[in-house]
DNA sequence: TTCTATTGTAACAATTTGTTACAATAATAA
DNA sequence: TTATTATTGTAACAAATTGTTACAATAGAA
């Protein structure tokens, strides 16, 4: 019972128009039907934001996403996509959920985007087909990122979590689920996250404001300080003279594990 | 710039030999390159086991897996696969990780399995290609399941977690990650899991043994009872006369949320 | 020098968890 | 009937953790 399975990519234009990695604008070279969407959390001075793309002439906003090359690990694809969008490479990145309902398949917005970009996609264009998408969340200091739009979008920028524009498809759901994951994992993953979210050294007040911003609630200063110190992962470095008319706080660093 | 993307399934035999759902043994009707693997945890009387398939004449063991139909939700596919393997439908099931490294692509074992089953797969047979696999864990009372082998395997049975046979590919890693997830989530998900892991009513000792088995550590009886009662989700039902020469324990039920 | 805002930490209370102890049984055997 | 036994439910207390308040120690500005 010899059976053959072949995935074919047809392009009416030039099959040879491909980037060096052998993945091209016709979708060839990518794993078919599988995508990534990333909720990139940016933190800086009490502010928690996420990175969104705005598509040209459409008023449509979306999470940065991407595809997986045939000769690429899934997580590596997420890391590559992230670097393309932010210019950052050593940041925390983790899967949190796979969005695989049929209901999320809605070719209309993507068709609008393509048309707004001067393309005339056929009904069966690969970008208009059903995708199962792996959700990733990433953590960065947003002052370190250099957001770059992708080929179809004219802006890539940070948006306050509580003032998000209307998002495409199920991207609002994806953001919500990412935020839940962030909150659930905060205590357990703090040390892993620290280098992505905080400068090398930081004051206790900065660490507390990170907690408060992520959890969206006020914490008691004294108890917080005691709890953090009791974790045994903080090393006190120096005093920090901020210029304020008050005692100078210490700066801390997470000790290597 | 009209571009076409078409996925083609070639079968040297009969393209019409398909199940009613339009997914066939040639892989057509399924989302290409995407699979599921399930770690089905079975609990009963202090024992935690998982369900494994043994492939005919190969000595190879594997997690039950499956594919996603083109007109099926991802989670629905997992639920269907689970029902096919266990006969159970109302059980707890959740994604925990996507395994998407290229390194996991190793066609050798699957080729052996197919050959052992009298098939002569070509090099490009769909089952021998790279798959990204969504890992699910499920929770059942293993006395309620009726394990059924799939087409290529001659047994489907429960194995003690600490006495697993050698598993195919990266399935050992998948089991490990599922177990970690189970432990991390136990407290937070207890109520959701209860109906899959415990009988409708249960004694405190049974609940404690569930905890101890999952966490693989002894807990203090008194503190455990107090903690569980303080959750405010247990309803005391009745006494249970077990026949033992001692005080009869109460049986509890989780109250509806 | 005084004043102000913020920090680090002590002090104590409240709560939660760890541990031990013991009375309350269901059977069983004397 | 009456011990005996194994387990259960919970009280009692200790230990640890967390919540809250208080206060001394500044770094700068007035």
Is residue B92's pLDDT more than 90?
Answer: yes
Rg (CA), chain B: 21
The count of residues in chain A is 257
State pLDDT tens for residues A50-96: 999 999 888 899 999 999 999 999 999 999 999 999 999 989 999 99
Q: What is d(CA B104, CA B65) in angstroms, rounded to the nearest whole number?
A: 15
Domains of chain A, by residue range, sit at: 30-187, 199-254
Strand D reaches within 7 A of the B247 CB: yes
State pLDDT tens for residues B184-229: 999 999 999 999 999 999 999 999 999 999 999 999 999 999 999 9
What is A199-254's CATH number? 1.10.10.10
**Across the strands, what pairs with B28?**
none
Phi and psi at residue B142, in whole multiples of 5°?
A: -70, -10
**3-state helix, strand and coil shares in percent for chain A, rounded to the nearest 5:** 30, 30, 35
User: Residue B257 has what pLDDT?
Assistant: 66
**Closest protein CA to C1' of nucleotide C23, residue:** B247
Chain A nearest-CA distance from B185, in A, is 10
**Residue predicted with more confidence, A257 or B117:** B117
Contact B70 A184 (CB under 8 A): no
Is residue B249's pLDDT more than 60?
Answer: yes
User: Would you tell me which residues have their CB within 7 A of strand C?
Assistant: A 203-205, 221-222, 225-226, 229, 244-250; B 220-223, 226-227, 230, 239, 241-248
- Domain B30-187: give its CATH architecture: Alpha-Beta Complex (3.90)
CA dist A72 to A40, B101, B106, B171, B233, Å?
21, 7, 15, 20, 47
Mean pLDDT in chain A?
88
Is residue B148's pLDDT more than 60?
Answer: yes
B26 closest CB neighbour out of A5, A31, A121: A5
Phi and psi at residue B54, in whole multiples of 5°?
A: -115, 125
Q: How many CB atoms lie within 10 A of CB A236?
A: 12
User: Residue B14 has what pLDDT?
Assistant: 34
**Residue predicted with more confidence, A51 or A47:** A51
A12 closest CB neighbour out of B4, B70, B121: B4
| For residues B165-171, average pLDDT | 94
pLDDT > 70: percent of chain B: 90
User: Residue B5 has what pLDDT?
Assistant: 32
> Does CATH number 3.40.50.150 belong to domain B198-254?
no
State pLDDT tens for residues B98-110: 999 999 999 999 9
């Amino acid at each position: 019972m010899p059976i053959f399975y072949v995935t074919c990519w047809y392009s009416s234009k030039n099959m040879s128009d491909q980037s060096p990695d052998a993945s091209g604008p016709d979708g060839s070279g990518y794993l078919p039907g599988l995508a990534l969407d990333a909720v990139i959390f940016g933190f800086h001075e009490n502010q928690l934001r996420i990175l969104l793309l705005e598509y040209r002439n459409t008023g449509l906003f979306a999470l940065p996403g991407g595809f997986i090359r045939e000769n690429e690990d899934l997580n590596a694809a997420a890391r590559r996509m992230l670097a393309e969008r932010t210019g950052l490479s050593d940041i925390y990145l983790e899967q949190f959920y796979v969005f695989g309902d049929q209901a999320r398949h809605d070719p209309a917005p993507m068709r609008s985007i393509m048309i707004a970009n001067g393309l005339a996609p056929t009904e069966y264009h690969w970008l208009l087909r059903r995708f199962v998408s792996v959700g990733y969340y990433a953590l960065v200091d947003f002052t370190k990122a250099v957001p770059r739009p992708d080929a179809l979008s004219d802006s890539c920028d940070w948006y306050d979590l509580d003032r998000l524009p209307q998002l495409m498809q199920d991207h609002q759901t994806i953001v919500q689920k990412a935020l839940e994951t962030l909150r659930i994992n905060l205590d357990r993953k703090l040390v892993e996250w620290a280098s992505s979210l905080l400068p090398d050294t930081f004051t206790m007040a900065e660490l507390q404001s990170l907690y408060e911003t992520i959890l969206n609630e006020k914490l008691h200063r004294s108890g917080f300080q005691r709890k953090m110190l009791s974790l045994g992962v903080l090393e006190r470095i120096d005093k920090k003279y901020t210029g304020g008319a008050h005692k100078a706080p210490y700066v801390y660093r997470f000790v290597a594990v």
